[in-house]
Amino acid sequence: MLFFIELKSRGFEVEAQKSITVYYKGTQVGNYIADIIVNKTVILELKACADIHDEFEFQLLNYLKGTDCEVGLLLNFGKEPEFIRKIFTNDKKKHRPKINQ
C-alpha cells in the first residue's frame, strides 16, 4: 500500500488490484488481477519472497500477453530486494481490447 501511495503522490496514475480480462481467439476466457498498473502502460507485480521464482516471471508474462501493456516489472521485497523487467510486444496486441476501464 505504501508503494501505491508513493507512486500516486509523485503524479502517476495508479490502479491497484486491477482486473484484467483475458481473451483467446476473441473469446473471453478469464480474468487476472494485477497488483498495480501505472499509467495504463506498466504492470507491477509485487512479491515478498526469499527469491524470485520462475512462476512469478511466467505470471507477469501472461499478464503482458493478455493486455495492451508491453512492459512489466516484477519487484521482490524479500531479504535482498531485486527486480526483473519483462517486455512483450507484437502486432496482435493492436487488435486486443484495452484494459478494463
Which of 6-15, 28-37, 49-58 reaches the highest mean pLDDT?
A: 6-15
Regarding predicted confidence, which is higher, 21 or 83?
83
Q: Could you tell me the sign of the dihedral formed by the alpha carbons of 46, 49, 51, 52, in that order?
A: negative
Residues in the chain: 101
Residue 52 has pLDDT above 60, yes or no: yes
| Global model pTM greater than 0.75 | yes
Query: What local confidence, expressed as pLDDT, does residue 57 receive?
Result: 93
pLDDT score of 65 = 84
CA distance 4 to 16: 7
- Average pLDDT for 29-57: 92
